[in-house]
């Protein structure tokens, strides 16, 4: 088990960890609703961080604030860059919740994965041989090469998630943000996604992932953050997900038991 993100993490190749996400005091208000209140968290290279909280606790808002697509008070640095700059440089890849994606859009699976290369292309957006090779490799890694021609909406839930993760692979993003990647996903896709995330982590990427699958989070994540519109607790998953903390975050223990 790796140490909490507050402390230095040493990657398997003994390279010192780099701070890939530094989010400080993020506050987001939607009119009267305070979705985020001074939330701070960090993710280092070689770290999978699990974001946990009940419905409405601000997880999706946090992802959008990190990406710079929802206005927020506070500061975000992605590999030392502002979110806008980090998106331009292809440093960060975001897989939103399925509900936030228009799957009727007339694009193929290959088109979606190719979008990961757009930041590197000129204004014509014409893929070069190296871009096509990167797209093919990403499709192969998520086992979607055979379905590359299909319209994105004509995939299963799990295949769609794999397509969006492949976009991040093709991009070579250093930081991956995944909002509920296991929701509505078949077992095979879930196993493949977990294996991919571990490979990316071991290659030095940073991963922030929200999930309701608390039972398996401690095995997947190196660190965990408990959110209830503010960060209640962050650190080693076993400690963060202790029953009494889950009761604080959810008002009950979602894993069962009395909790306290
Ligand atoms: N565009 C919006 N306008 C107004 N309120 C919003 C908007 N988006 C989110 N909210 C509110 O902000 C709060 C946080 O929502 P958010 O979607 O970030 O939570 P979440 O933890 O991702 O929830 P879930 O697990 O259900 O996806 C909720 O009270 C929600 O109703």
pLDDT tens string, the chain, 260 residues long: the values are 444 444 344 445 567 889 999 999 999 999 999 999 999 999 999 999 999 999 999 999 999 999 999 999 999 999 999 999 999 889 999 998 877 777 788 899 999 999 999 877 777 778 889 999 999 999 999 999 999 999 999 999 899 999 999 999 999 999 999 999 998 888 988 999 999 999 999 999 999 999 888 888 889 999 999 999 999 999 999 999 999 999 988 887 777 765 44
How crowded is the C-beta side of 163, counted as CA atoms within 13 Å? Answer: 29
| Dist CA 54 CA 31 (whole Å) | 21
CATH 3.40.50.300 domain extents, the chain: 1-91+175-250
| Dist CA 144 CA 157 (whole Å) | 13
Q: How far is the CA of 211 from the centre of ligand 1 (A)?
A: 15
CA distances from 21 to 24, 34, 46, 73, 128 (A): 10, 23, 12, 16, 31
pLDDT of residue 12: 52
pLDDT of residue 250: 87
pLDDT of residue 13: 55
Q: How far is the CA of 30 from the centre of ligand 1 (A)?
A: 9
The verdict on the CB of residue 35 being under 6 Å from ligand 1 is yes
Q: How far is the CA of 134 from the centre of ligand 1 (A)?
A: 35
Atom of ligand 1 nearest to the CA of 212: 25
Task: Tell which CATH classification among 3.40.50.300, 3.40.640.10, 2.40.40.20, 3.40.228.10 matches the domain 1-91+175-250.
Answer: 3.40.50.300
Nearest residue (by CA) to ligand 1, atom 5, is 30
Q: Using alpha carbons only, how large is the chain's radius of gyration in Å?
A: 18
pLDDT of residue 4: 40
Question: Which tokens belong to 209?
Answer: 């992932």
Backbone φ and ψ of 17, nearest 5°: -70, 150
| Dist CA 193 CA 141 (whole Å) | 10
Mutate to test the pocket of ligand 1, among 37, 58, 225 (most ligand atoms within 8 A of CB): 58
Q: SS3 helix, strand, coil % of the chain, rounded to 5?
A: 40, 25, 35
| Dist CA 178 CA 60 (whole Å) | 10
């Amino acid at each position: 088990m790796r140490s909490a993100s507050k402390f230095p993490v040493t990657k398997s190749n003994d390279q010192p960890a780099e701070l890939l996400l530094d989010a400080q005091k993020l506050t987001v208000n939607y009119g009267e609703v305070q979705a985020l209140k001074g939330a701070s968290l960090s993710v280092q290279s070689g770290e999978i961080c699990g974001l946990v909280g009940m419905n409405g606790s601000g997880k999706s808002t946090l992802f959008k604030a990190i990406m710079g697509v929802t206005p927020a008070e506070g500061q975000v640095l992605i590999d030392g860059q502002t979110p806008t700059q980090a998106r331009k440089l292809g440093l960060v890849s975001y897989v939103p919740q399925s509900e936030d994606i228009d799957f009727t859009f007339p694009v193929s699976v290959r088109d979606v994965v190719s979008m990961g290369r757009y930041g590197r292309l000129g204004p014509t957006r014409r893929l070069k041989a190296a871009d096509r090779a990167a797209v093919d490799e990403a499709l192969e890694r998520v086992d979607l090469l055979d379905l590359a021609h299909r319209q994105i909406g004509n995939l299963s839930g799990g295949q769609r998630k794999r397509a969006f993760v492949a976009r991040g692979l093709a991009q070579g993003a250093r930081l991956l943000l995944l909002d509920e990647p296991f929701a509505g996903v078949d077992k095979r896709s879930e196993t493949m996604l977990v294996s991919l995330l571990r490979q990316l982590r071991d290659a030095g990427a940073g991963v922030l992932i929200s999930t309701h699958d608390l039972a398996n989070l401690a095995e997947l994540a190196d660190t965990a953050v408990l959110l209830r519109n503010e960060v209640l607790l962050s650190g080693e998953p076993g400690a963060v997900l202790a029953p009494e903390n889950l009761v604080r975050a959810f008002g009950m223990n979602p894993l069962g038991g009395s909790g306290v």
